[in-house]
Structure formats: C-alpha cells, structure tokens
Amino acid sequence: MLSRIFLRLGASCGLVGMALGVYMAASHDHVLAPVHAHVNLIGWVGMFLAGLFYAQRPDAAGGKLARAHLAFTVAGLLILAPGLAGVLLGYPFGELMAALGSILTIAAMALFVVVVFRSKPAPHSRRITDRPTMDRAEAGIPCFQSGRRQQVTGDGLAAHSCLTRWSSKTAASQPVSPAD
Ligand code: HEM
Ligand code: HEM
C-alpha cells in the first residue's frame, strides 16, 4: 500500500514537473526552473524510487518510520515547492516556507536512511533466475510464457522448461509479488 502511494505520487509529480517544464520552454520564462527541478527530482525521481524500494522490501513498508517517511516527504514537497516559487518570484512568504519545506524534506530523507538500513530482503525476493524450473510437459500444465529454454522430447512433444513463476498452477501456492 505504501509503495503504491509513493509510486502514484511520484508519477503524478512527474506529470506536474514536466508540465511546468513545457510551460517554461514555451514561455521562454525559466525563472521557476528550480521549482521544476525539485518537483521532478524530489517528487518524480525520489518518490518513485522510494515506491520501488518499498515494493521490493515489504517488511520495511509496514512500519511507523516508513509512514512517517511518506508523510514528511509529501508535506516537505508541498511546502518546499511553493516556498521556492515564492522566493524566486519575490513573495515575502517564500523564505519561511522554503525553510520549513527543506527541514521536512531532509527529515524525510533521514527517516528513509534509517528504514533502508533496517530493512532486510524479503524471503521471496530471489531473482527470477533463482526460481526452480519445472518441465511443462511433466507437470501437464500449459505454459503461456515459455520459450526461455525449449527442447523436443523423445515422443516429439515440445517440452518447455518453464519458470514456476509463470505457471498458472503454481502461482497460487508460490506468491511472487510482494504485497506492497
Ligand atoms: C517535458 C519534460 C521537460 C521539459 C519540457 C523540461 C524543460 C526544462 C526547462 C525549459 C528548463 C530550464 C532550463 C534553463 O533555464 O537553463 C529545465 C531545467 C531543468 N530540468 Fe527540466 N524539463 C523536463 C523534464 C525534466 C525532468 C523529467 C527532470 C528530472 C527528472 C528535469 C530536470 C531539470 C533540472 C534539474 C533543471 C535545472 C537545470 C539547471 O538549472 O541547470 N526536467 N527543464
Ligand atoms: C531539502 C531538500 C532540498 C533543498 C532545500 C534544496 C535546495 C536547493 C537550492 C536552494 C538550490 C539553488 C536554486 C537556485 O539556484 O535558484 C538547489 C538547486 C538544485 N537542486 Fe536542490 N534542494 C533540495 C533537494 C534536492 C534533491 C533531493 C535533488 C536531486 C535529487 C536536488 C537537485 C538540485 C538541482 C539539480 C539543482 C540545480 C537546479 C537549478 O539550479 O535550477 N535538490 N536546490
């Protein structure tokens, strides 16, 4: 769940950040370039990376620190971006907001550092190539994603060495995608 929120927010920030980039390019007014840069880098790149991390490490996604990381990241960017814009456009509220947003953002990063250091690889996060293979013909089940290794058996049947991951029969008993 946490991972999904980070991924969605990250992608949305990418859209907002790029829209600002297109606006700047079209208007030839680059004064808000730092806002564009930080929405893209803290939002799109940073949040999306965090989402991928939490998807890969579900143990880390469940804790309070991870939820605080999300809250601080979102609050930080929501305050930092308009604060930076305020500074660049000469509004008096800019400095204070930028300072507050900066503190929240760096606090979020500090929380994330702790989360990353504490996390352990998920027990089922082996690489796909580490998964046991099975013979499709032997198992008597169709393999729709075969073709990694193919051979012809004595009886003329094409037997696929098929990763269990892709087998409809074993998918239920072997959850492979971490619950985010
Ligand atoms: C539709 C996509 C994008 C457009 C049209 C766009 C456009 C621009 C424009 C016009 C500038 C100002 C350049 C200047 O003043 O010299 C800029 C700066 C910047 N953009 Fe983008 N951008 C896009 C996507 C991105 C993305 C995805 C990222 C990061 C992930 C990014 C990162 C930056 C950074 C860091 C700067 C500041 C560079 C500097 O000050 O040297 N941009 N962009
Ligand atoms: C607490 C968080 C952050 C604060 C307070 C902060 C602040 C700043 C400031 C004040 C500038 C100079 C802007 C200017 O020249 O007008 C800057 C530039 C820049 N920062 Fe950050 N930053 C933060 C996080 C990040 C992160 C996480 C990244 C990248 C992942 C990043 C990438 C950049 C880049 C590429 C520039 C040059 C862009 C430009 O000049 O438009 N910053 N930052």
**Structural domain includes residue 70:** yes
126 vs 65, residue with greater confidence: 65
Please tell me if the CB atom of residue 105 comes closer than 6 angstroms to any atom of ligand 1: no
Tell me which residue has its CA closest to atom 39 in ligand 2: 34
User: Which ligand sits closest to the CA of 17?
Assistant: 1
Give Cα 132 to chain centroid, integer Å.
27
- Range of 142's domain? 128-171
Q: Mark whether 87 and 145 lie in a shared domain.
A: no
- Nearest ligand 2 atom to the CA of 46 is 30
Task: Report the C-alpha gap between 177 and 164 in whole angstroms.
Answer: 13
**Structural domain includes residue 180:** no
**C-alpha distance from residue 91 to each of 88, 95, 98, 128 (Å):** 8, 8, 11, 53
Please tell me if the CB atom of residue 37 comes closer than 6 angstroms to any atom of ligand 1: yes
Tally Cβ neighbours within 10 Å of residue 134: 18
Nearest 10 degrees: CA dihedral of 57, 60, 61, 66?
A: -140
Q: Mark whether 89 and 156 lie in a shared domain.
A: no
pLDDT of residue 115: 97
Q: Mark whether 6 and 88 lie in a shared domain.
A: yes
**Structural domain includes residue 49:** yes
- Nearest ligand 2 atom to the CA of 45 is 30
Q: Mark whether 95 and 54 lie in a shared domain.
A: yes
Q: Spell out a b/e string for 55-83, using b for 16 or more CB atoms within 10 Å of the CB, else e.
A: bbbbbbbeeeebebbbebbbbbbebbbbb
Tell me which residue has its CA closest to atom 5 in ligand 2: 102
User: Is residue 139 very low, low, confident or very high in pLDDT (cuts 50, 70, 90)?
Assistant: low
pLDDT of residue 123: 65
**Structural domain includes residue 64:** yes
Residue 31 alpha carbon to ligand 1 centre in Å: 12
Task: Report the C-alpha gap between 121 and 166 in whole angstroms.
Answer: 22
pLDDT at 154 over 50: no
Q: Mark whether 92 and 137 lie in a shared domain.
A: no
- The letter for the amino acid at 82 is P
Task: Report the C-alpha gap between 44 and 17 in whole angstroms.
Answer: 8
Q: What percent of the chain has pLDDT over 90?
A: 64
DSSP-derived 3-state class of residue 166: helix
Q: Mark whether 23 and 90 lie in a shared domain.
A: yes
User: Tell me: the pLDDT tens digits for 107-123?
Assistant: 999 999 999 999 987 66
Task: Report the C-alpha gap between 91 and 93 in whole angstroms.
Answer: 6
pLDDT at 22 over 50: yes
Task: Domain count for the chain, please give it.
Answer: 2
Q: Mark whether 98 and 134 lie in a shared domain.
A: no
pLDDT of residue 162: 43
**Structural domain includes residue 176:** no
Q: Mark whether 113 and 74 lie in a shared domain.
A: yes
129 vs 84, residue with greater confidence: 84
- The letter for the amino acid at 1 is M
Tally Cβ neighbours within 10 Å of residue 137: 17
Least confident of 16-25, 80-89, 130-139, 153-162: 153-162
pLDDT at 143 over 80: no
Q: Mark whether 91 and 7 lie in a shared domain.
A: yes
Q: Mark whether 93 and 134 lie in a shared domain.
A: no
Reported pTM: 0.79
User: Is residue 133 very low, low, confident or very high in pLDDT (cuts 50, 70, 90)?
Assistant: low
Q: What percent of the chain has pLDDT over 70?
A: 67
